[in-house]
Amino acid sequence: MISFLKLIRYKNLLMVLLTMVLTKYALINSFISVAHLTHLEFFILTFSILLITASGYIINDIFDIETDKINKPDKVFITVSISKKKAYFFYYLFNFIGLFLAIILSFYKEMPFYSFIFIGTIVGLYYYSKILKKIPLVGNLLISSFISLVIFIVYWYHFLSAPMLISGHSMLHTNLYNVIFYYALFAFITTLIREIIKDIEDVNGDLKITANTLPIFIGKKRAAKVAFFFSCFLLLFLTLIIKEVKKSTFFLTYSSIFIIVPLVYFMYLLLIAKTKKEYATVSKLLKTIMFFGILSMLLFNIN
């Protein structure tokens, strides 16, 4: 059971769950209290996304068996504690249930074309695992887009099927959309940086399967500089919009202590990192920054 939970990256799934819950109940509800997405509908949407995300981790590990034996031998679960046949079974099962729930919800909310978002995600995660992650930056950008999509999709299902909510609160809706966009962009950039760092960590295993990830294509040092460049952009972006997102001294103090300062320290560690262990430490720090960034949605309920 423990091996299976690790296979589907339960910690990452909890992060996705937290992001969706805070987007709806902390962020959106702080702007507009009228709920068009009921608790049950939100549960179905969330469960669908978690299942599809879990299936993405499973198919990724299926394709990565050989590379993981080199990059992270202590985290190889398929063929060790879980058979490949069973892994494929859960991959197809999770995708089927997740897609079925998404299609039902999309048609019920009179948004049938939104079913293609989930179909595209399933196809994208499959080809990411098989091909795209071996191409410089392409796979990194795809995964980053999917992460930011988690925030957007809660917003879309909450409002786009109910235009009367938008027309009745035009100014609030504009402000909300801006904040949603900022959080989605934060999720996109931090994920992109972390994906590049993970590729630097995994160079040895990726070389074995002749992958052409960014660190292999331009070298680890240059790839680290690319990650640092995006970090500079992230720092500038956060510095410019934090005060604009919520004009509150408490929000500004929280952001400075738990996001800005750790980000500056992260950038310093990224510049001096050389070993796989050091890059792993940098990656964990960025994940912590991501957590506190998403957690800041709670502060929108504080006047």
Name the residue ranges covered by the structural domains of the chain: 2-301
Euclidean distance between CA atoms 231 and 187, whole angstroms: 12
Euclidean distance between CA atoms 92 and 59, whole angstroms: 9
The DSSP 8-state label assigned to residue 169 in this structure reads T
The helix-helix angle for 84-108 and 39-63 (nearest 10°) equals 150
Task: List per-residue pLDDT tens for the chain, 303 residues long.
Answer: 788 888 899 999 999 999 999 999 999 988 877 667 889 999 999 999 999 999 999 999 998 887 878 877 777 788 888 889 999 999 999 999 999 999 999 999 888 999 999 999 999 999 999 999 999 999 999 999 999 999 999 999 887 655 555 555 566 778 888 999 999 999 999 999 999 999 999 888 878 777 889 999 999 999 999 999 999 999 999 999 987 777 788 889 999 999 999 999 999 999 999 999 999 999 999 999 999 999 999 998 775
User: Can you give the pLDDT at residue 13?
Assistant: 97
User: Can you give the pLDDT at residue 62?
Assistant: 92
User: Can you give the pLDDT at residue 243?
Assistant: 78
User: Can you give the pLDDT at residue 170?
Assistant: 66
Euclidean distance between CA atoms 53 and 131, whole angstroms: 18
Q: What is the pTM of this model?
A: 0.93
User: Can you give the pLDDT at residue 205?
Assistant: 80
Cross-strand partners of 78: 82
Q: Is 78 helix (H, G, I), strand (E, B) or coil?
A: strand
Residue type, 203: V
Tokens of residue 110, six digits: 């009179």
Tokens of residue 32, six digits: 């507009």
Burial class, 127, CB count within 10 angstroms (exposed 0-12 / middle 13-18 / buried 19+): middle
